[in-house]
Amino acid sequence: MGVIQDLFSEDQISAVLGGGVTLNKTKQSNFSTTNYGSDNRPCGLLLTGVTPSLSSDSAQLSDFIVSCSARFKKIRMLGSACISLLRFGQGKCDAVIFKGIHFWDVAAGIIISREMGCVPKWVCVDANRALGDFECVR
């Protein structure tokens, strides 16, 4: 089970593995998909953030920004992995990508995105600190 609550808007999205997605107590079924433009890049929005582990390595940060810019036309940073995943669940963005983020910051989003038909990817990069790279793209 995963639950994400936005304390500012009072939106809540939740999912139970095999039980679908609920937004503000309403079952959800239609999720948008990425549309590609003439340059073959998604026209949608990527939500991401600069984690402490990413910001400590300027070369890695630069590579991350260039890589994201090559894949997406719009990139925004909301300052919270949970809120980014909530917006993903609401269909307000097409991808959420974080490098060097703690597992507990994206655990609920993994279940929610799976129930939306997406295939979230979590790759552990430091098991001692539960840090990894997370990507969920429609």
Question: What is the per-residue pLDDT for 126?
Answer: 93
Per-residue pLDDT, 132? 94
Whether 2 is covered by a domain: the verdict is: no
Residue 128 confidence (pLDDT) above 80: yes
Is 98 in contact with 55 (CB distance < 8 Å)?
A: no
32 pLDDT higher than 80: no
Rounded to whole angstroms, the Cα distance separating 87 from 78 reads 10
Residue 87 neighbours by CB distance under 10 Å: 21
Measure the CA–CA gap between 76 and 124, rounded to whole angstroms: 24
Domain count within the chain: 1
Q: How far is CA 35 from CA 66, 107, 137, in A?
A: 21, 27, 12
Distance CA 35, CA 54 (A): 29
32 lies in a domain? no
52 belongs to a structural domain: yes
Q: How confident is the model at residue 38 (pLDDT cuts 50, 70, 90)?
A: low
* Residue 31 within any structural domain of the chain: no
pLDDT per residue over 97-122, tens digit each?
999 999 999 999 889 888 888 888 99
Say whether 129 sits in a helix, a strand or coil: helix
- Identify the CATH number of the domain in which residue 121 sits: 3.40.190.80
Does the structure show a pLDDT above 70 at 21? Answer: yes
**Domain presence at residue 124:** yes
122 in a structural domain? yes
How high is the pLDDT of residue 76?
A: 93
pLDDT of 102 reads 93
Q: What is the residue range of 48's domain?
A: 41-137
* 106 inside domain: yes
Residue 49 included in any domain: yes
Residue 108: strand, helix, or coil: helix
Place of tokens 């937004």: 23
